[in-house]
Structure formats: structure tokens, C-alpha cells
């Protein structure tokens, strides 16, 4: 049975909450060898890394760091509320994902951004999103504070 892919905004709305994203950082640089391989890009191609706090009703629930090819997202302001809705608008919808889940403890940097104490438990999910022809389009590291994330069969 396939799991249903929900984005943050859908999860929040289903709970009767108002979703919001706060852009923390937007970095443009050459891809590392690992990033280029994960996104099927030529070595040293340019990428962008978008860091966002994800909130519902003003409360922080997670932070994600998304890596995309520069050609996919040359300007962070183009996203609006939802990265996946943006990708759909530009003809690169996320059609399937692979995810690796693991429990971690918050580093000092993550704790400071999430407003928690270092060492608190977090759920880390590394997701690769694929578009048409099984082309990888996004690589995201997400760090979740609680049970807000749902994987629904």
C-alpha cells in the first residue's frame, strides 16, 4: 500500500491550524559532489539551499533545509506559501519521494532555531522528491519537534 504525501500546509489545515513558513536563509553556491549526485546534476553545478521554519498558528513545528538546482529556483520569493505548489506551477511537480527517518538529538544550532534545549529529541527526515521521468528535483533535511508529521497509508 502506498503512503500519501502531504505537505506541511495540508497537515496544518487538516488540524484546523493556519500554516506559515518563515524563510531563515537562502544560499546560492556550487553543489558538493554529494548534492550533485543526489539531484542528478553535473558536478559543481549551481544549487540553492532554502532554510525555512515551519509554523502553525504561530508555533514552530519544524525546520527544513531544501536543496534544489539553481535553474529550478533562481529566486526564493517565487515560492509563496508552498514549495510543492511552486514546483507544480513550473511544471516540475513532486510525483514521488523517498524518505529516510531517524531519531536524533538537537544540536546547539538546531535548538537555537527551534527554540528548544540542545539534546532534546527530534525526528530527522531526509527526503528526495522526484518529478517527471523519475528526475530528482529536491533534497530536503527536515527536523521535527513532535508528532506533527504523519505518514498515512
DSSP 33-51: HHHHHHTT--TT-EEEEEE
**CATH superfamily of domain region 8-144:** Chorismate lyase-like (3.40.1410.10)
What per-residue confidence (pLDDT) applies to 13? 76
pLDDT at residue number 9: 67
Q: How high is the pLDDT of residue 3?
A: 45
Q: What is the pLDDT of residue 19?
A: 79
pLDDT at 52: 93
Report the pLDDT value the prediction gives residue 4, as an integer from 0 to 100. Answer: 46
DSSP per-residue letters across 119-149: T-EEEEEEEEEE-GGG-EEEEEEEEESSTT-
Question: How many of the other CB atoms lie within 10 Å of CB of 78?
Answer: 10
pLDDT at position 6: 56
- Using alpha carbons only, what angle is made at residue 23 by residues 93 and 135, rounded to the nearest 5 degrees? 25
User: pTM score, two decimals?
Assistant: 0.86
Burial category of 145 from C-beta neighbours within 10 Å (exposed 0-12, middle 13-18, buried 19 and up)? buried
Dihedral of CA atoms 32, 37, 42, 44 in degrees, nearest 10, equals: 0
Where along the chain do its domains lie?
A: 8-144
CA 77 to chain centre: 16
Averaged pLDDT in 10-residue chunks for the chain of 153 residues? 55 78 93 95 93 90 94 90 90 95 95 94 94 97 78 58
Amino acid at each position: 500500500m502506498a503512503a500519501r504525501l502531504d505537505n506541511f500546509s495540508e497537515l496544518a489545515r487538516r488540524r484546523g491550524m493556519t500554516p506559515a513558513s518563515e524563510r531563515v536563509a537562502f544560499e546560492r553556491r556550487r553543489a558538493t559532489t554529494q548534492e550533485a549526485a543526489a539531484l542528478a546534476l553535473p558536478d559543481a553545478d549551481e544549487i540553492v539551499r532554502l532554510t525555512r521554519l515551519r509554523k502553525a498558528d504561530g508555533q514552530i513545528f519544524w525546520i527544513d533545509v531544501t536543496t534544489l538546482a539553481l535553474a529550478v529556483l533562481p529566486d526564493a520569493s517565487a515560492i509563496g506559501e508552498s514549495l510543492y505548489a511552486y514546483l507544480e506551477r513550473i511544471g516540475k511537480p513532486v510525483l514521488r519521494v523517498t524518505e529516510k527517518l531517524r531519531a536524533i538529538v538537537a544540536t546547539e544550532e538546531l535548538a537555537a532555531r527551534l527554540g528548544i534545549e540542545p539534546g532534546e529529541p527530534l525526528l530527522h527526515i531526509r527526503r528526495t522528491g522526484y518529478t517527471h521521468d523519475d528526475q530528482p528535483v529536491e533534497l530536503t533535511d527536515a527536523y521535527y519537534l513532535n508528532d506533527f508529521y504523519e505518514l498515512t497509508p
